[in-house]
Structure 1
Amino acid sequence: MSNVVIVFDFDKTIIDCDSDNWLIDELGFTDLFNQLLPTMPWNSVMDRMMMEFHSHGVTIEEIEKVLHRIPIHHRIIPAIKSAHALGCDLRIVSDANMFYIETILKHLGIIECFTEINTNPGYVNQQGRVRISPYHDFNKNSHGCTNPCPPNMCKGLIIDRIQNTINEVDNKRFIYLGDGAGDYCPSLRFGEKDFVMPRKNFPVWDLICKDPSLVKAEIHGWCDGQELEQVLMTLISKVIVEENAQVISSDCKLRSMSIPVLESFPTALTVRP
């Protein structure tokens, strides 16, 4: 088992688009969505859109089929499977929702690669309608973060919880991948031995580039799925090599300590007459 914990964003990181916009556009509800968006928070709009889908006769099966067609770079799945095979702990922190993510990951055959999915609740109710709610209930209280996080989710707080649940003795090292402004806050949570992989020329990249010194982790950008795979595999290999070097060094020290000290021989022999 590797000591690497890899945290992925979902939209525009694992998949190559925004899942909400993809579903709305593919089902032909773009105009209604654009009318509602200025009137309420994003999560509330998406919950309302699910009601509109249902009232217009769109079935759960039709929604799932649209999600199954979502664009994804052909090197993303091999990258995820390779990281999992190397013993990395893969997790998701996303501002999408659980219904989308589980539907897509099951279809792609990679849901078992992830130990944890942190996202907005999304489920099918008894009436056969998808319901979506915010991760942080912004109607009750704010998450209180001053970074550019949406009101429904501070990914930095989620990373804090993940880090706190991992024993420091395990010496885990993190790799964080994301693209949006909401991925900036968690990028500030990592240390010098960790890695942050912002998508080049996306909001998180622009925010980091304003003052890279604020990010303590090593910064490694990527532009598409192919470069994501190359950078990710390079970083995992780097950590594994360093881990093996530490094991060998520790083993050598133990071996040297366990070698018995030989009694010294006399400097001269006494010849008996």
Structure 2
Amino acid sequence: MSISFDLTGKVALVTGASRGIGQALAIGFAKAGAKVICASSRTGGCDDTVAAIRDAGGEATALAADLSNAEATIRLAEDALGVYGGVDILLNNGGTIFRAPAVEFPLDKWQQVMQVNIDSAFILSQAIGKAMVAQGSGKIIYIASMLSYSGGITVPAYTASKHAIAGLTKALANEWGTHNVQVNAIAPGYIRTDNTQALQDDENRSTEILKRIPANRWGEAEDLQGAAVFLASAASNYVNGHILAVDGGFLAR
């Protein structure tokens, strides 16, 4: 039996594809042969990502939607399904973070983080997962976090949303596995992105983090490409409901 990591002929929707992890994974899917629909919160946000894919000989297009708005998220799912006539791979990467002590955490910021990080992920999964169930195949990948396992500091909403992502991954895997739809998640370690800039700039916290990473470095967004292509490809057809940590060994320390 051959093992295939080839995504030729597959269509992938990647949210939060304007930069960082989403951009790297959109490019990774394209390199593996997929047509990629790159989504971001504003029109033109994914221009650089689409250009990078096309310059490398791949095929990509861009959509925009405010993931804090349920109606806009539903429209994104509908539009994505119409671009190439279906979606084979859904990567729920779009997210946000807000830092404040729990006793001071604003309710509106709590609600915004939950809307973007978990509500939109469910809405997209429900709409596109329904089509996947109907066609009898599909791959849904969530971006979880090291804070799917622990509590963090001054990020209660983000932590709650990433614990919820881990639970949603398992819940949908249970329901859709029988329809040949695999639902998994990637839990990135400490990756150099905009979301972790505050930690990178905090000398004490950055030093503490590095001491716990056996790889002895912060991760780069490109370090996640292999795991994402694996979970999007036929190579992972018997992997379901799994949260794959790509963390340089952080959880092992």
Q: TM-score, normalised by structure 1?
A: 0.37
Q: TM-score, normalised by structure 2?
A: 0.39
